[in-house]
Amino acid sequence: INHPRPKLLFVAGIHGDETAGTLLLLKLADELLNQHHTKPILQTILDSVDLRLVPLLNPNGMYAGGDSTLYGATRYNANGVDINRNFPDRIYGAHADGNAYQPETKAIMHLDSSQQFNVSITFHSGAEVINYPWDHTATLHADDAWWQYIARSYVDTVHTYSPANYFTFLNNGIINGYAWYQVFGGRQDYMNYVQ
């Protein structure tokens, strides 16, 4: 039986001043495109999954200080909106942040709904932690045990191959989003509720 490959979406740069994810996804793209013939694991990835990369969702925020510098990068887009609060929300519905959907929000929502991804990851910068659903409510996700298992599996692997004290923030590298801090209109809850 020929099963369809799982569809994965990696998104970075939702906050323009969080640049690490953008650089990591560009590095991943470069590795996949240029090293897959010499590194079997990369060819296995390409053969096994349908991987989409969006290295920079918020270019106006990242390049707020000019096209050739990251100096002046800001969390917000050109309209002063935090894109990661601009998605439909299970509690507050459409426009949870009181703003119209931004061009970046609309573009990524269109991609999300047109492709029906199995897994989507949004990379942020600033804390070494995997944050899993829900962000907007203390009620645990129906798949909470699975989310914890996946997050812990990843972080345990990181601990095996990384220097000591890396990815040890909060609950040794994982946390329920709401338990960390509450977010309405966030991409994570949108992907797990709406999509």
The region, left, alpha or beta by phi > 0 then psi within -120 to 50, assigned to residue 72 is left
At how many degrees (to 10) do helices 40-48 and 20-35 cross? 100
The region, left, alpha or beta by phi > 0 then psi within -120 to 50, assigned to residue 98 is left
Amino acid at 63: Y
Rounded CA separation 188/132 (Å) = 8
Write the pLDDT tens digit of every residue in 100-129.
999 999 999 999 999 989 999 999 998 999
Rounded CA separation 43/33 (Å) = 10
Reported as a pLDDT band with limits 50, 70 and 90, residue 1 is low
What is the mean predicted confidence (pLDDT) over 80-88? Answer: 98
Rounded CA separation 83/85 (Å) = 5
Write the pLDDT tens digit of every residue in 148-174.
999 999 999 999 999 999 999 999 999
Nearest C-alpha neighbor of 86 from the set 72, 71, 75: 75
Reported as a pLDDT band with limits 50, 70 and 90, residue 4 is confident
Whole-number CA gyration radius for the chain: 17
Rounded CA separation 89/95 (Å) = 8
Omega into 134 within 30° of 0, i.e. cis? yes
